[in-house]
Structure 1
């Protein structure tokens, strides 16, 4: 199982939408996908349109390393035959400081996911808009990080912060972690806003060493928000929309970078 994390310490950049729709795009190609929602706001979990009040990620973390494979499998909500969801809950925000002082806690998300690695081809992690413990633990569990960025000056500053965090993470906590790519949201090269193009050029020139700037960008599209409100993936809700086309292209680019083929 390859674990892919979507993270940015700035909110409102399309992180959850990207995690959701890349995961669905992978499932549409025949891959088995596990979502792990590491954000107490649980927007990803709520995107599935379910009132998920059963066992969640926070409950597993509060077992303090004493979780079993059966515990993890029982907590996963079966969305369909190819997709599972390990949901989050607002209680996770209260649980984090209760276990954050425990040195071993940083590996628990990784260990939880390892217990079900044989069940899935990909795990998609959504994270809170911060650089706190939950994000650090998610990055420790990950193989690849993809960073959605809006082309604005605040986006540039946020990317600087996460770049520093990833550098420290790679050196001390997870040497296998690499940045799979930076991609722009609410943006198209055809847009006329000069400031956005200037920021894109600035980010591309300053952060090329952090990871590749992907060719695919995600255009502004009302269907993205409407699909989440409807509790559906964009690929199912509005498959002909610009957003669905963009996320399909983004997934194509991710798979091309990984040099993997569609499973039989």
Structure 2
């Protein structure tokens, strides 16, 4: 099965299509095109819900999505979504909510990438009412990425951090030739890595997701998960 991750401007939510193809444990991404700015960044925030297979409940609310772009000249840009989801059947109603804020910002130095920072804040909520189980699940999904222009040989220090909840699905850096020089799948909550760079355009992409399922909430109770996520990449000569 030969497929490649779509380019930055055509990414779609995880709920409807894979944003990366995992083959033998590696995420495949195309070689990055030349960046129009020292950093060309995008952040996407998604909120969506589902019900268990075979459930008689429906979720009438559509997924929510907001997209923002940023460069060193724009300052910090944030994509924010907030959506209430209701799973409904003749016998029961289950409520959930997703709030998702994903931000990106960057600094440049003499026309080249210097620093890029991504942060996300997630809140997912479910109230499990009396009655048959809909199997309602709510998901906050952040998809930040950026093209990074490097003009001189050096190194990049890449660090990531998340709270006790939420999951970094992947964290990938692709070099100008299309090779994955950092390829992390569900890494530890905190970590860092340093890699060498040479002139060219690099691509940094990641996915952070927080999930909550009705079956994790006692009947008659409600539950909220709060999650945060941060990634910083710093160039050094």
TM-score category by the smaller chain? under 0.3
- Considering fraction of residues, name the structure with more helix: 1
- Considering fraction of residues, name the structure with more strand: 2
